[in-house]
């Protein structure tokens, strides 16, 4: 029996709406919502959905019926109104993530799938939080993780994630690149089943620095690091200019791209597959996937939220669990 923990994310956003829509079909695995049962029931009423919410303690090894969701009840700190943020619930959101992470660390679950959170309101509530990726790394005592987004025909990983652009150049060090590329190489083998993954590496500067005339990070850091890793057997191409890398000439023979910063690689991927792409954290001791979108407060509770990305995230988690097994 495969068990997957699902965290709806920000309770005032569309995460609960999307999770409730999961009850509209049957699943070959146990999906368990790590959420406030009462909040889900209230949102179902707002949406006009007839969903049966069953505590996971009462379930055993059976699968959910159509129209039913399994719930690991975690009480919210304050009442929830769709579309209205409340900093008091920042602790609740983080607690859902913590419990889902720890359940996976205890091997009670085989993966965690996360809905969208609102980083600003969590920090406003007094909790330092820069994102799911960093949280799960800290909570699982993992020294280094890598953020990947994937859609049909394209996978993009990041050398740096949620840091200001002004800090990126200083963060691109031989140590960081070495660690990240080894993780990408290893997880593409162990989690995706690719024996010799081919990784394309973006340059940091325009035109990959143009031999140092537009920046020296390629000459001083990136190229020497790639040469060292090639000597260890990694299949790496680059550094390539990011403005010309994302074309069939390069992508058709590659398995994954490493971008140097968040907005270098992700706009291309999201343009290609927004609503059909999945966020995957590499390097964790468990499988974690996520939606590719935000909380969409403006449509929360309206019944118009598209569950496409959540469905893709769950399907990807199931596929990765089966490959690992």
What residue numbers does the annotated binding site for a divalent metal cation cover? 162, 207, 262
**Distance, CA of 230 to CA of 316 (rounded, Å):** 30
In the numeric block, the tokens 């999961």 are attached to 22
Beta strand pairing call for 198-202 and 146-151: unpaired
Query: For every residue of 112-146, which 3-state class applies, written as one string?
Result: EEECCCCHHHHHHCCCCCCCHHHHHHHHCCCCCCE
Taking the C-alpha atoms of 212, 213, 217 and 223 in order, what is their torsion angle to the nearest 10 degrees? Answer: -30
**Distance, CA of 52 to CA of 67 (rounded, Å):** 6
**Distance, CA of 238 to CA of 181 (rounded, Å):** 12
Known binding residues for substrate are: 132-133, 270, 279, 288
| Tokens at 259, concatenated | 């971008």
Give every strand in the sheet of 68-73, ordered side by side. 52-55, 68-73, 30-35, 3-7, 111-114, 287-290, 278-282, 146-151, 154-158, 256-259, 198-202, 235-240
Radius of gyration of the chain, Cα coordinates, nearest whole angstrom: 20
Per-residue CA distances from 285 to 141, 190, 255, 295, 314 (Å): 10, 12, 22, 27, 18
Known binding residues are: 132-133, 162, 207, 262, 270, 279, 288
Please answer whether residues 7 and 35 qualify as being in contact, where contact means their C-beta atoms are separated by less than 8 angstroms: yes
Helix then strand count (H, E) for the chain reads 13, 12
**Distance, CA of 320 to CA of 121 (rounded, Å):** 32
């Amino acid at each position: 029996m495969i068990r997957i923990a699902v965290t709806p994310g920000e309770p005032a956003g569309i995460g609960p709406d999307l999770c409730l829509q999961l009850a509209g079909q049957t699943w070959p695995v146990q999906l368990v919502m790590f959420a406030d049962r009462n909040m889900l029931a209230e949102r179902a009423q707002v949406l006009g959905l007839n969903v049966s919410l069953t505590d996971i303690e009462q379930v055993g090894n059976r699968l959910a019926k159509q129209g039913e969701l399994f719930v690991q009840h975690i009480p919210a700190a304050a009442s929830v109104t769709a579309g209205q943020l409340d900093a008091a619930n920042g602790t609740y959101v983080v607690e859902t993530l913590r419990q889902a992470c720890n359940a996976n660390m205890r091997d009670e679950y085989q993966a965690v799938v996360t809905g969208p959170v609102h980083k600003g309101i969590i920090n406003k509530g007094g909790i330092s939080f820069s994102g799911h990726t960093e949280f799960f790394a800290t909570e699982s005592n993992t020294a280094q993780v890598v953020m990947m987004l994937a859609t049909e025909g394209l996978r993009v990983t990041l050398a740096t994630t949620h840091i200001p652009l002004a800090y990126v150049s200083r963060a691109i060090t031989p140590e960081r690149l070495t660690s990240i590329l080894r993780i990408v190489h290893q997880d593409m083998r162990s989690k995706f089943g690719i024996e010799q993954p081919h990784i394309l590496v973006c340059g940091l500067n325009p035109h990959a620095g143009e031999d140092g005339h537009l920046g020296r990070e390629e000459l001083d850091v990136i190229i020497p690091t790639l040469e060292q890793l090639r000597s260890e057997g990694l299949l790496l191409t680059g550094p390539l200019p990011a403005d010309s890398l994302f074309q069939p000439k390069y992508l058709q023979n590659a398995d994954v791209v490493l971008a140097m910063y968040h907005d270098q690689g992700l706009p291309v991927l999201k343009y290609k597959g927004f609503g059909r792409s999945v966020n995957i954290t590499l390097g964790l001791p468990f499988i974690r996937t996520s939606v590719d979108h935000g909380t969409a407060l403006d449509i929360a509770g309206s019944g118009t939220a598209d569950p496409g990305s959540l469905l893709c995230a769950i399907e990807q988690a199931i596929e990765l669990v089966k490959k690992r097994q």
